[in-house]
Amino acid sequence: QAALTSKTKDPYPDWKPGEPVPYAALCKTFSLVELTTKRLIIMEHCSLFLRQVLRLTPGDLLSTVLLMINKLAPDYAGIELGIGESLIMKAIGETTGRSLAVIKQDQKEIGDLGLVAVKSRSTQPTMFKPKALTIQGVHKGLMNIATVTGNGAQGRKVDGIKKLLSAADANSSGKVDITKDKGGPSEAKYLVRFLEGKLRLGLAERTVLVSLAHAIVAHEAAEKDQVPSTADIEKAEAILKTVYSELPSYDFIIPAMVEHGIMNLREHCKLRPGVPLKPMLAKPTKAITEVLDRFEGQTFTCEYKYDGERAQIHYVAKDADEELSQSLPSASTEVGRGVASIFSRNSEDLSRKYPDVLAKLATWVKEDTRSFVLDCESVAWDVVEKKVLPFQQLMTRKKKDVKIEDVLIKVCVFAFDLLYLNGESIVEKSLRERRELLRQSFQQVEGEFSYATSMDGQELDEIQTFLDESVKASCEGLMVKMLDGTESGYEPSKRSRNWLKIKKDYLSGIGDSLDLVVLGAYYGKGKRTSVYGAFLLACYSPSTDTYETVCNIGTGFSEAVLEELHKALSETVIDRPKPFYSHSSGGQHQPDVWFEPRFVWEVKTADLTLSPRYKAGIKEGVDPASEKGISLRFPRFIKVRDDKKPDEATTSRQVAEMYRKQESVTKSKGPAVDDDF
């Protein structure tokens, strides 16, 4: 708060009201953020800068926030740069007139492409002074790079990068010393890091969101010659967090916030069909008794935990509210009387994967159901035996551009929640009410659409029997959910204590599997010499934006799977670990090859132990000396998680929680925390 009220000297004197925000001003903020690890100071720098944007050029606020969180558009727009190290190196070389060999050598020595760009840029003779970069210009340039397709796309991407790089640091005076202050506020450095997908500022998206709330509340107060109260700041923060969890799209939120003010934002930005929300997630448990302890004195319900792919189905009838129909992505499919889209767990548009589901949608939506958002699991379905098939069958389906006539593995949609109905968000209603509305608004059609099988019994033996039945029905176990009261509301983006999962094999191991990022590999031995035989895996730490290694794994792979993995991973090989990989430096522990962080695998383990060789959860306080990380014992590969991005992997905090839980089954207390931040 002090920073919001203090009369700080204007750090960007060149930027005049109404003028486009200079990219250099953002880079200056980035460099200040990079020099500290203190979250409050980081927040001060960010909110001060955002406040300045609001005051001088509010029209640029959206692009500014997006560049701060290393995104170009909301996740569901599917816009990704997808640029590997080699393209960036090529562009740096061609912009600065240095050979690719020299760039590669620098990268080997420095290990940070951003700094390689700074070094290359500062040794480059400048013939003429290019026009300085602006935030809008950079956003547009990056957008162009991300969206080029077709013939020669790679070449045009390189051209796009070159264009930005050659204008970078137009205003900087003299050479930047890369050994000092992490390379300083160089534009080239941050451009390259953006292209790599990691700004590495320790600037979590959640911090930007909170800074934005602080900035707007301070700006609004300043307009009235006032200073915001602590209560106002807290209220603004809470409003923005809630709004963002229901409508995770700055494209809607920022213009509404600027126009209507932060305190009125909830009236203008609500969950709406067309904008996928981050789903609610469950906490793992190790025993039915743990579930009973948690829900003691409250009613709960058990549902089958289907083993398929999460599917959020959005629908608007054509003659429903016009504004709503417009918010559906242009790629939405016409289904009977309306248009619909299906989104994945991480907000990707799955409509081209499930045209068969969309084609049948009209058969299970009742006539007077005008608009909805459903939370479901799409599960492989045996049309002959009329039952659920294991997940492996679903994996054999093509991922996009599926033609209905080619579908071999049919899917049935199992709906377990309804979040929006007939123009209204219903996330705050109790689960009992939402379930009632779900059953009134849709009809079950065998093999197409079904409600998740549920059981409301509260006794241990009833739950045990239901769990056994779920396993017989090819499910993963049970989801146990609070049924009544405010705690049973749907909590978007939260891993909540109000949803617990019990997996069928909870009695062995640590209760849950982990989703880990593949960072490196070891060449195979014996029969496996032509493929990788073992891999180095890591969890993700959102607070430091690093991948922390957690195990080597060589078990659970068939020969065919190893071959497939080899093919996919070979394309992502890099010369040395990224600076945001945290692994022990001992020579004997290094993998033979390193990869870009791209693939997430589900892995099971017998238990967790501490080891000086790995870094997982090292900052989570499980080892007082902080020398040992947590590692998996006897890890086993289960499957590739296509529906998770690397930064959606199991977090270091979750690993630490699992480690502590196996020591003594303590019940975690307190409110649900955001999973992704």
Residues acting as catalytic residues: 305
Nearest residue (CB) to ligand ATP, 30 versus 304: 304
Nearest-angstrom CA–CA distance, 493 and 239:
15
Token digits for 202?
């320790």
Q: Of 473 and 606, which has the nearer Cβ to ligand ATP?
A: 473
* Nearest distance, CB of residue 417 and ligand ATP, angstroms: 7
Q: Kindly write out the interface string for residues 335-374 of this chain, putting x where it contacts ligand ATP by CB under 6 A and - elsewhere.
A: ----------x-----------------------------
Listing DSSP states for 97-116 in one string gives T--HHHHHHHHHHH--HHHH
Query: Which residue, 345 or 429, has its beta carbon nearer to ligand ATP?
Result: 345
Q: Of the ranges 117-125, 277-285, 458-466, 530-538, which one interacts with ligand ATP (CB under 6 A)?
A: 277-285
Q: Which of 76, 381, 391, 416 binds ligand ATP (CB under 6 A)?
A: 416
Binding footprint of ligand ATP, residue count (CB under 6 A): 15
Cross-strand pairs, 414:
377, 450
Contact between 305 and ligand ATP by CB under 6 A: the answer reads yes
CB 292 within 8 A of CB 506: no
Of 468 and 627, CB closest to ligand ATP: 468
Nearest approach, Cβ of residue 660 and ligand ATP (Å): 18
Site for ligand ATP (CB under 6 A): which residue of 21, 26, 188, 479? Answer: 479
Question: What span, in angstroms and rounded, lies between the C-alpha atoms of 20 and 490?
Answer: 40
Does position 303 interact with ligand ATP (CB under 6 A)? The reply is yes
Residue 256 φ then ψ, to 5°? -65, -35
By CB under 6 A, is residue 281 in contact with ligand ATP? yes
Q: Is 285 in the site for ligand ATP (CB under 6 A)?
A: no
Phi-psi category of 3—alpha, beta or left, where left has phi over 0 and alpha has psi -120 to 50? alpha
Binding flag, residue 498, ligand ATP (CB under 6 A): no
Neighbours of 378 (CB within 10 A): 23
Q: Residue 352 is encoded by which pair of tokens?
A: 């081209």
Pair 98, 92: CB distance under 8 Å: yes
Among 282, 316, 413, 538, binds ligand ATP (CB under 6 A): 282
> Residue 604's closest CA among 633, 632, 635, 631?
635
Site for ligand ATP in 207-246 (CB under 6 A): none
Scanning 71-79, 298-306, 316-324, 591-599 for contacts with ligand ATP by CB under 6 A, the matching segment is 298-306
3-state secondary structure of 22: strand
How many other C-beta atoms are found inside a 10 Å radius of the C-beta of residue 228? 22
Please identify, using beta-carbon distances, which residue of 113 and 350 lies nearer to ligand ATP.
350
Q: Classify strands 387-388 and 410-421 as parallel, antiparallel or unpaired.
A: unpaired
Asked if residues 585 and 614 have their Cβ atoms less than 8 Å apart, the reply is: no
Using alpha carbons only, what angle is made at residue 244 by residues 239 and 246, rounded to the nearest 5 degrees?
A: 100
d(CA 92, CA 107): 11
User: Of 310, 314, 353, 497, which one interacts with ligand ATP (CB under 6 A)?
Assistant: 310
State the pairing for strand pair 449-451/410-421. Answer: parallel
| Smallest separation (angstroms) from ligand ATP to the CB of 325 | 28
Element (H, E) at 593: strand 593-595
Give the H/E segment covering residue 51: helix 39-56
Stretch that binds ligand ATP, among 39-47, 221-229, 302-310, 383-391 (CB under 6 A): 302-310
Q: Which stretch binds ligand ATP (CB under 6 A): 76-84, 160-168, 299-307, 347-355?
A: 299-307
Q: Is 674 in the site for ligand ATP (CB under 6 A)?
A: no
Least distance CB 434 / ligand ATP (angstroms): 12
Shortest spacing between CB 279 and ligand ATP, in angstroms: 6
In the complex, minimum distance from the CB of residue 479 to ligand ATP, in angstroms, rounded to a whole number: 4
Measured CA to CA, the distance from residue 224 to residue 219 in angstroms comes to: 9
* Closest approach of ligand ATP to the CB of residue 624, in Å: 30
The answer to the question of residue 455 lying near ligand ATP (CB under 6 A) is no
Region near ligand ATP per CB under 6 A, out of 9-17, 122-130, 300-308, 380-388: 300-308
Q: How far apart are CA 479 and CA 418, in angstroms?
A: 16
> Considering the rule CB under 6 A, would residue 112 count as an interface residue with ligand ATP?
no
Closest CA to 539 of 612, 485, 457, 617: 617
Least distance (Å) between residue 281 CB and ligand ATP? 3
CA angle, 495 then 76 then 537, to 5°: 55
Given candidates 139, 219, 501, 604, which one binds ligand ATP under the rule CB under 6 A? 501
Closer CB to ligand ATP, 452 or 551, in the complex:
452
Confirm or reject binding of residue 466 to ligand ATP (CB under 6 A). no
Nearer to ligand ATP, 169 or 375 (CB): 375
Angle between helices 153-167 and 135-147 (to 10 degrees): 170
Question: Smallest gap, in angstroms, from Cβ of residue 644 to ligand ATP?
Answer: 7
Nearer to ligand ATP, 145 or 538 (CB): 538
Tokens of 303: 């549902």
In whole angstroms, the minimum distance from the beta carbon of 467 to ligand ATP comes to: 13
Q: How far is the CB of 484 from ligand ATP (least distance, A)?
A: 17
Tokens, residue 544: 């430091």
- For residues 244 and 213, the answer to whether their CB atoms sit within 8 Å is no
Regarding 377 and contact with ligand ATP (CB under 6 A), the answer is yes
Query: Which CB, 25 or 656, lies closer to ligand ATP?
Result: 656
Which one of 65-73, 216-224, 278-286, 313-321 is the stretch in contact with ligand ATP (CB under 6 A)?
A: 278-286
Contact with ligand ATP (CB under 6 A): which of 23, 76, 252, 306?
Answer: 306
Residues 393 and 380 sit within 8 Å (Cβ to Cβ):
yes
31 vs 513, beta carbon nearer ligand ATP: 513
Phi, psi dihedral angles at 496 (to 5 degrees): -110, 150
Task: State yes or no: residue 513 binds ligand ATP (CB under 6 A).
Answer: yes
d(Cα 240, Cα 65) in Å, to the nearest integer?
Answer: 14
Backbone angles phi, psi at 419, to 5 degrees: -110, -20
8 Å CB contact between 475 and 307: yes
Judge contact between 390 and 447, C-beta under 8 A. no
| Chain residues that interact with ligand ATP, rule: CB under 6 A | 279, 281-282, 303-306, 310, 345, 377, 416, 452, 479, 501, 513
